[in-house]
Amino acid sequence: MTDVREALMVGRASDGRLVRRPLSPHLQIYRWPLSMATSILHRVSGVALAVGTLLLVWWLAAAAASDDAYATVSWFLRSWLGVICLLGWIAALWYHFLNGIRHLVWDAGFGFAKPQIDSSTYFVLGATAALTLLTWIALFTQL
Partner 1 sequence: MSETVKAAAGHNAGGPRVKMMRTTLGQVRGLGSAKTGVEHWWIERLTSVAMIPMTLWFIYSALHLAGHSRLEVAHWAANPINAAVMVALLLTVFRHMGLALMVVVDDYIHARAAHMAMLLLIKGGTTLLALIGIIATLRLAFTG
Burial of 72 (0-12, 13-18, 19+ CB in 10 A): middle
Binder among 14, 24, 28, 142 for partner 1 (CB under 8 A) = 142
> Which amino acid is present at 140?
F
Selected range binding partner 1 among 30-38, 112-120, 121-129, 133-141, rule: CB under 8 A: 133-141
Per-position x/- string for 44-83, each x denoting binding to partner 1 as judged by CB under 8 A, each - no binding: --xx-xx--xx-xx--xx-xxx-x--x-------------
Contact 118, 140 (CB under 8 A): no
- Residue 6 binds to partner 1 (criterion: CB under 8 A): yes
**Distance between CA atoms of residues 53 and 33, nearest Å:** 31
Q: Which helix (H) or strand (E) holds 19?
A: strand 18-20
Nearer to partner 1, 76 or 97 (CB): 97
**Distance between CA atoms of residues 141 and 143, nearest Å:** 6
Interface positions with partner 1 (CB under 8 A) = 1-2, 4, 6-12, 17-20, 43, 46-47, 49-50, 53-54, 56-57, 60-61, 63-65, 67, 70, 93, 97, 100-101, 103-104, 107, 135, 138-139, 142-143
